[in-house]
Amino acid sequence: MLQSVASSQGYATYGNQIKYGVSVYKVIYSTTYQGQDIKASGLICIPQGISTPAPILSAQHGTIFTQNEAPTNFTGLSGFELFAAAGYVTLIPDYIGFGESKDVFHPYYDQKHSAMAVVDMIKATKAFAEEQDIQLSDKLFLAGYSEGGYVTLAAQKEIETNPAHGLKVTASAAGAGGYDLTAMLAGVASGEPYTYPSYLAYVLQSYIYTNNWNRPLTEFFQEPYAGKLPSLFNGRNSGGTINRSLTTDPKKLFAPAFFAGLQEADRETALKQALQANSFLDWVPQSPTRLYHGTADNIVPFENSQTTYDRFKAGGATQTEFIPIKGGTHGSSFVPMLQNLVPWIQLF
């Protein structure tokens, strides 16, 4: 059954990895947002009938805009469930802002909130397994693509730098995330057209709300866009719908004073400091880590992963590899990453 579904949704190459049926549970757990306890949600996928202790794999999804795309609401196959069919207890967090926490504006590309949504779900999964008498091994894998690549490194950094969590990463794989947000800002400030403006509006609104800046959207965006944004980001519109309602020209999307401030060192400092703080500029992975990125990605530039990898290596990351996906776009590189990733994880 799972093999035919996998084949129909483009994952036929994983047919030989499917060894178990999968039971899927929705879990509601506690995490923190702006220092307050809130309820978050995600899926736990359990391989049925497994006779040996199973490793945990936390799978982080890419950028979503609608509540229907949240893992706990999604009716299709994300691809990550196939890890459970291969023998991994697989968890797929919704992230803050989706599922149980849908009333919060998603803290998009915010390192701490991204990390804790994953770390707290790993802890909730361990508690669930104990209640259900599911045997777990001591192995913990992290994997994600696009925003999920960023969230994967955020969780890895949190686990590696905070021993109080009592967790240890066995291996981590991150694909096509915007790990250096300061470099992304430089690209936007240059005024070059950006083909997916919904991402720019997403990050900026996230930082406004997550950091309680109490500045109106009209200080950041020109009309008619400033007035449209609250209804565009209502959890019902797709990224494509939002893109068609915006403009690919940053000089027309952003308010003139704000756009000018992006180009001057002593203006819009709160935003620039937040982007710097949420980039991976001062941390080096300690666990085996793979970065993946398509060389033809025009949404998150390939160079973002290349410079991040170079920084990791210069900082002494001896177990980090970078795997370019030749000719891969942002949309087409996920499946090749999975194809390369599965046999690598199985080595552990």
Lowest mean pLDDT among 14-18, 231-235, 286-290: 14-18
> 47, 133 in Cβ contact below 8 A?
no
pLDDT at residue 318 is higher than 50: yes
Partner residues linked to 192 by β-bridges:
none
pLDDT at residue 7 is higher than 60: no
Backbone CA torsion sign across 331, 115, 319, 18: negative
Contacts of 241 (CB under 8 A, 6+ apart): 232
- Give mean pLDDT, residues 263-275: 95
pLDDT at residue 9 is higher than 90: no
Question: What secondary structure letter does DSSP report for 190?
Answer: T
Cis (ω within 30 of 0) for the bond into 163?
no
Domain 181-277 has CATH 1.10.10.10: no
| Structure tokens, 106 | 């998603």
Residue of 2, 7, 17, 78 whose CA lies nearest to 42: 78
In angstroms, the Cα distances linking 192 to 145, 187, 195 are 25, 7, 10
> 1, 327 in Cβ contact below 8 A?
no
pLDDT digits (tens, 9 = 90+) for 194-205: 999 999 999 999
Q: Please give the CATH superfamily to which domain 2-179+283-346 belongs.
A: Alpha/Beta hydrolase fold, catalytic domain (3.40.50.1820)
Tell me the average pLDDT of the chain.
94
CA distance 281 to 152: 15
Work out the pLDDT band at 337, boundaries 50, 70, 90.
Answer: very high
- Give mean pLDDT, residues 85-104: 97
pLDDT at site 117? 98
pLDDT digits (tens, 9 = 90+) for 227-249: 999 999 999 999 999 999 999 99
Cα 142 from chain centroid (whole Å): 11
pLDDT digits (tens, 9 = 90+) for 28-53: 999 999 999 999 999 999 999 998 99
Residue type, 43: L
pLDDT at site 74? 86
Residue of 78, 8, 19, 75 whose CA lies nearest to 338: 78
pLDDT at site 19? 87
Start and end residues for every CATH 1.10.260.160 domain found in the chain: 181-277
Per DSSP, the three-state class of 221 is strand
The proportion of the chain whose per-residue pLDDT surpasses 70, expressed as a percent, equals: 95
Residue of 297, 291, 329 whose CA lies nearest to 313: 291
- Report the first-to-last Cα separation within the chain, whole angstroms: 28
89-93/36-47 β-pairing: antiparallel
pLDDT at site 18? 80
CA distance 244 to 242: 5
Give, for 28, the enclosing helix (H) or strand (E).
Answer: strand 22-33
pLDDT at residue 13 is higher than 70: no
* HSE of 60, CA atoms in CB hemisphere, 13 A: 34
pLDDT at site 81? 84
Start and end residues for every CATH 3.40.50.1820 domain found in the chain: 2-179+283-346
pLDDT at residue 311 is higher than 60: yes
pLDDT at site 11? 52
pLDDT digits (tens, 9 = 90+) for 53-74: 999 999 999 999 999 999 999 8
